[in-house]
């Protein structure tokens, strides 16, 4: 509440006077106190490392088939077992991290790049522009997230790139709505009025004075949206609309595994566990970040 | 009240317009000649010419849009290229299946989510509360198609208690129908239960500190009576209206659940249509879900005002 009444600059000054601590330092300190959020962040970083170093740590080529090792259960040779055409499941889970993390990163970046400007314009200008933009956003929100992504993937053609575009487009309204709401809540703050009174042009007020002050909620939403995007990519790949075989993706691995549930249950276990762990960690981190950025706490 | 209703209903007109433009616009995403894309690469030139004429592809875009909207308004969503039947019939045929699945899933979500939310709110900041919050986080992070596969492993493959896939109409055998739907309904309801729990928890926490709850306590009413008769009744108002907004999540989830358990519903219809490049079916399904969502939203808003006397004036 304090931040809304005083404006972040004055709050920052107060905090610095009191504790000698900058806002981002305070956020980091509060975040570090939340054990689950730290664990979540550590797990996410672990998955990022796995994806980046996949060529170095993968025990086998994720595409190499072997007719001598078809549907073998986990063993010393193949820790996670092998799939229906003898590919190593561990290698595919490791390489599959790339598709998932890429989907999380690219989709959310697209949604931010489209949604934030819409929200800024809509919230700042108000009036007819706001009315039209918000009805458009309502229309996009009226189509369920995955259904919109499926429809877009259908018309664009199935591929990982198109799945990421589809997920990004369907997440755009969330960011547009959030940004607009935040702009409306700070628009009439005194520091904005002051910036206007000294003759700043509109674009400068929006970009230099409003935007920096609404970043915290956007950051939290982006983390949670990345978790949702990773599930969405896995879902589209599971339906056959994301990463195309033989390239590895956790969702498409589960799609195949579904046909071998009784013969080779390990095929379904590992990719699912990977999705669940990564998404849970992102959600834990996002929740922790929200608490740490909340000026009412501490 | 009347003014609110009229304003609220007037708001859905532009939304419907934009939805129709979006869904019509999907066609424009098809690379190259839409007629060729619809018919397939090696189609007969006469088929392509027929499609071009049938979908007015030789007309300017606004004219095509007007013709398309006019058809939709008459309930004509076009025809499935693959099955050669009107899209409307296909949708009407699949709707009850998904409707039953979604209804059962919502039941699961309420039965699990609401009591868990009440418990978490009453025991706020205790281990019970943290436990419930963790369970909710688990529900949100669990990809429902994976949960489905795990349940099939346990209950169908290992224990042999439930059928792994398929669907039986309730008119054929209600028992078989319910047996085939237990796992899918749980899988679909699981994530919604987590959301319901969060809503119920925060609504209950808010209500529990209200004056009338304190009064009820001061009168010496039992804890159970205070919670159930005084707090819950008021806390449920936002839960019910927010629950209506979960319809989209329910439908998205149904697509995946139907795929895992091979249930011939709405979700299976749109996924099959995507692979058969049956674009009219895809558009029809998207249009119907969007329309249903807008209507449900409208009813939820109206219900909210009707239930809440302070907003009625």
Residues 6+ apart with CB under 8 A from B169: B177
pLDDT at B150 over 90: yes
The full DSSP string for B131-153 is HHHHHHHHHHHS-HHHHHHHHII
Residues 6+ apart with CB under 8 A from B239: B114, B117, B196, B199, B200, B203
Residue pairs between chains A and B whose CB atoms are closer than 8 Å:
145
Residues in A touching B137 (Cβ below 8 Å) = 280, 283-284, 287
pLDDT at A1 over 50: no
Residues in A touching B81 (Cβ below 8 Å) = none
Token pair belonging to B62: 């606004």
Kindly report, residue by residue over A252-278, the tens digit of the pLDDT: 999 998 888 888 899 999 999 999 999
CB contact under 8 A, B256 and A238: yes
* Nearest residue in B to A153, CA atom: B274
The interface predicted TM-score of the complex, written ipTM, equals 0.85
Residues B27, B31: Cα–Cα separation, whole Å: 9
Find which of B91, B146, B163 to mutate to test the A interface (most A CBs within 10 Å of its CB): B146
**Which residues numbered 150-169 in A keep a CB inside 8 Å of some CB on B?**
150-158
* Nearest by CB: B282 against A151, A227, A268: A151
CB contact under 8 A, B293 and A143: yes
Beta strands in A89-169 (DSSP E): none
Task: Answer for the pair A275, A250: CB distance below 8 angstroms, yes or no.
Answer: yes
Lowest mean pLDDT among B19-23, B78-82, B99-103, B194-198: B78-82
Cβ burial of B203 (10 Å; 0-12, 13-18, 19+) is: buried
The alpha-carbon radius of gyration of chain A (Å, integer) is 23
Kindly report, residue by residue over B36-62, the tens digit of the pLDDT: 777 777 778 888 888 778 777 778 888
Task: Answer for the pair A56, A47: CB distance below 8 angstroms, yes or no.
Answer: no
How confident is the model at residue B311, as a pLDDT? Answer: 62
Q: pTM for this structure?
A: 0.86
Residues A211, A182: Cα–Cα separation, whole Å: 9
Residues in A touching B286 (Cβ below 8 Å) = 143, 147-148, 151
């Amino acid at each position: 509440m304090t931040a809304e009444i005083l404006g972040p600059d004055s709050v920052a000054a107060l905090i610095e006077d009191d504790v000698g601590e900058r806002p981002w330092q305070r956020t980091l300190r509060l975040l570090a106190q939340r054990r689950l959020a730290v664990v979540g962040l550590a797990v996410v970083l672990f998955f990022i490392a796995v994806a980046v170093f996949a060529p170095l740590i993968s025990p086998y080529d994720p595409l190499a088939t072997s007719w001598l090792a078809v549907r073998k259960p986990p063993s010393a040779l193949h820790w996670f077992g092998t799939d229906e055409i003898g590919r190593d499941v561990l290698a595919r889970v490791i390489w599959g991290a790339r598709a998932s993390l890429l989907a999380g990163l690219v989709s959310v970046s697209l949604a931010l790049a489209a949604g934030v400007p819409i929200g800024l314009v809509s919230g700042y200008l108000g009036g007819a522009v706001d009315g039209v933009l918000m009805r458009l956003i309502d229309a996009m929100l009226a189509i369920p997230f995955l259904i919109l992504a499926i429809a877009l993937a259908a018309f664009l053609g199935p591929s990982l790139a198109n799945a990421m575009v589809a997920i990004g487009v369907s997440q755009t309204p969330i960011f547009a709505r959030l940004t607009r709401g935040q702009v409306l809540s700070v628009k009439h703050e005194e520091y904005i009025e002051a910036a206007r009174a000294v003759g700043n042009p509109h674009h400068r007020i929006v970009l230099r004075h409003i935007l920096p002050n609404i970043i915290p909620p956007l950051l939290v939403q982006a983390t949670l949206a990345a978790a949702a995007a990773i599930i969405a990519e896995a879902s589209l790949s599971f339906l056959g609309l994301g990463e195309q075989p033989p390239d590895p993706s956790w969702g498409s691995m589960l799609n195949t595994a579904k046909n071998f549930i009784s013969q080779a249950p390990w095929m379904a276990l590992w990719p699912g566990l990977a999705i669940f762990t990564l998404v849970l960690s992102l959600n834990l981190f996002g929740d922790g970040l929200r608490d740490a950025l909340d000026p009412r706490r501490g | 009240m009347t003014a609110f209703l009229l304003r609220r209903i007037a708001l859905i007109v532009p939304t419907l317009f934009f939805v129709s433009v979006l869904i019509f616009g999907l066609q424009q995403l098809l690379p190259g000649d839409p007629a060729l894309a619809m018919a397939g690469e090696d189609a007969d030139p006469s088929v392509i010419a027929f499609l071009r004429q049938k979908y007015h592809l030789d007309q300017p875009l606004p004219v095509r849009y007007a013709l398309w909207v006019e058809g939709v308004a008459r309930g004509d969503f076009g025809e499935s290229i693959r099955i050669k039947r009107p899209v409307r019939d296909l949708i009407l045929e699949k709707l009850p299946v998904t409707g039953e699945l979604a209804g059962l899933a919502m039941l699961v979500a309420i039965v699990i989510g609401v009591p868990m939310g009440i418990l978490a709110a009453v025991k706020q900041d205790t281990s019970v509360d943290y436990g419930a919050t963790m369970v909710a986080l688990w529900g949100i992070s669990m990809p429902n198609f994976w949960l489905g596969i795990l349940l099939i492993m346990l209950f169908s493959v290992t224990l042999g208690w439930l059928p792994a896939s398929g669907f039986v109409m309730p008119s054929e055998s209600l028992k078989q129908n319910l047996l085939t739907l237990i796992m899918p309904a749980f899988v679909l309801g699981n994530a919604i239960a987590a959301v319901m729990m969060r809503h119920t928890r925060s609504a209950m926490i808010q209500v529990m500190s209200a004056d009338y709850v304190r009064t009820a306590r001061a009168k010496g009413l039992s804890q159970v009576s205070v919670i159930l008769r005084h707090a819950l009744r008021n806390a449920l108002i936002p839960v019910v209206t927010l629950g209506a907004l979960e319809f989209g999540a329910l439908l998205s989830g149904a697509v995946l659940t139907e795929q895992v358990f091979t249930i011939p519903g709405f979700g299976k219809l749109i996924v099959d249509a995507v692979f058969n490049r049956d674009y009219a079916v895809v558009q029809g399904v998207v249009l119907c879900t969007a329309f249903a969502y807008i209507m449900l939203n409208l009813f939820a808003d109206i219900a909210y005002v009707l239930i809440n006397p302070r907003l009625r004036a």
